[in-house]
Amino acid sequence: MYQHFFALKELPFCIAPDPDFLFLSERHKEALAHLNYGLQGNGGFVLLTGEVGTGKTIVCRALLEALPDHIDIACIVNPALNEIELLASVCDEFNIDYDVDKNSLKLLFDAIRHWMMNNLAQGRRAIILIDEAQHLSFAVLEQLRLLTNIESNNNKPLQVILVGQTELQQKLKSVEFRQLAQRITARYHLLPLCAAQCANYIEFRLHVAGAHMPIFESMALQQIYRYTQGVPRLINLLCERCLLSAYSQNKESINTSLVKKAASEMQFTASKTLFSQYGRALLFVILGVLVVFNLAKIKNNATQFYQHFSMSETVPNKASISNNFHWFSDHQTLDLNKGNYAVALSTLYAIWGYEVPLEGIDCTQGERVSLVCFSRRSNMSELARLNYPAILKLNNADQSVYVVLYKIKEDYQLLLGSQLISVSEAWLQYYWDGDLTLLWKRPFKEKGVLKLSQQGENVRWLKQTLSTLQAVDLGNDDYFDPALASKVQQFQETQQLSQDGIVGSRTLMLLMQALNPQSPKLQEVL
């Protein structure tokens, strides 16, 4: 059909996995790096979550193909198992002999343990990968945890990779799973593609299929992103329909009209109905609350509208350079109505993996999971030092816009509602009024500082944390002694904080970030 019409060697948008069409976006590469990091550890669990169709299978396939030969893999694709069926499936995957007629939890567990110990003695390790893990029962997850208890001379022969949808995150936050959650050595939540990645994804697949000329017009690519929200599986479905429509109309290129027609036939829409159709999961698309808002068109290269200036340690003189910086109003594709505080706070919660309705949203809603707000007047230096995504208030004449500073790379990446914008440091200094709000995980409910001569469980936690981070033994008592104060000062020095030996909010924030390297951050610290 359309394959011959467009002179393609293969069908470019088949939804069946094909290694020739492996497209690793920046987010997929990030996910892969996090999982590889977790698998370098000694036992435990690695967690990969993401919404339907975001590419979790692609990441897992790339991960498994890159594993060394001394690792044995068991892939469990049917999560609707009880404990005995799970252990029997593990035995089948690893070719472990067992008596089918006399299988029991003990016999199966012992057989797996014996095999793993022999495997470890030969310098080999094992990985169990479970797909759709959000459907696993408590009993099955607990059985997996018990398998990870197997060890010899402090060496763990097994690691478990749990792959599932967002519900898996929520399940593991419940009290009954606290022991398992503590054994997660790496986790990553895979988000859909951004607008530019969506276009790159489509063009990549067409190129692999043999296309020599562009088939989709640039505006059509933007329209596809608008309808699919960057979910690869939906992109494939819509592009396939677009190619069929173009073929049936004898058109060699695809414009926005064809995309709209194809989307209409498939009942795709950028309104609320699309999100209800594909589930509340899509609320995390591009870290925004897209259920409430229609997605405006995004130009392929948003940065071309901004003047890039060399970095400066001082705030630019507004009187002298005001003509050089362009406010958001210069960009017809941006909807400044999305730049309100409620949308920004909801986006910030989404970055941390929590869905919070817009109505009545405030900082108190995160407290039940120890997620608290930190608001203050600040500057660029402290912003980079704290290294947490933050809400910033930008001012221009009589207009104020709230954005989320999401990443710092070569430039500063802002989220305005659901849209990702890159700006220079000088641009941000010029428009930011110094107000920031960030979220962080507080390790205990009590507020206030920890300092010399105090006692209590919070001090014990501090000693255990610094003992872990600095590879020292500070003891396990609950007294804030001079030795602990000295280690606090050492930590504060490495973080460029005031070295007073007092643990306040900023010191606690950076301790939590060091303790949990997978927590959201503006930039990776080498």
What is the SS3 assignment for 502?
coil
Q: What is the DSSP string of 144-180?
A: HHHHTT--BTTB--EEEEEEE-HHHHHHHTSGGGHHH
Locate 251 and state its tokens: 């058109």
Contact 332, 375 (CB under 8 A): no
Give the largest CA-CA distance in the chain: 85
- Burial classification of residue 142, based on how many CB atoms lie within 10 Å of its CB (0-12 exposed, 13-18 middle, 19 or more buried): middle
Ramachandran angles phi, psi of 421, nearest 5°: -130, 140
pLDDT of residue 288: 43
**Ranges for all domains in the chain classified under CATH 1.10.8:** 195-266
The matching CATH number, chosen from 3.40.50.2300, 3.30.70.1380, 1.25.40.10, 3.40.50.300, for 26-190 is 3.40.50.300
Minimal CA–CA distance to 119: which of 96, 86, 103?
Answer: 96
pLDDT tens profile 366-391 = 887 788 999 999 988 889 889 999 99
Amino acid of residue 238: L
Q: Which fold has domain 336-441?
A: Cathepsin B; Chain A (3.90.70)
pLDDT tens profile 285-311: 333 433 333 333 323 333 332 222 222
Question: How much is the pLDDT for 324?
Answer: 44
Tokens of 289: 């609350």
Residue 195 is predicted with a pLDDT of 82
- Domain ranges in the chain with CATH number 3.40.50.300: 26-190
Nearest CA to 272 among 298, 287, 293? 293
pLDDT tens digits along 208-225: 999 988 999 988 998 898
**CATH says 195-266 is which class?**
mainly alpha
Q: What is the pLDDT of residue 511?
A: 94
Tell me what pLDDT residue 222 has.
87
Question: Which amino acid, one-letter code, is at 318?
Answer: K
The rounded distance, in Å, linking the Cα atoms of 276 and 194 is 21
Measured CA to CA, the distance from residue 54 to residue 231 in angstroms comes to 5
Distance between first and last Cα of the chain: 52
- Distance of alpha carbon 389 from alpha carbon 437, whole angstroms: 9
Q: Which residue has the tokens 């008592």?
A: 477
Helix-, strand-, coil-residue percentages of the chain, each rounded to 5: 45, 15, 40
Residues of the chain whose pLDDT is less than 50? 271-325, 329-333, 526
**With contact defined as beta carbons under 8 Å apart, do 240 and 246 qualify?**
no
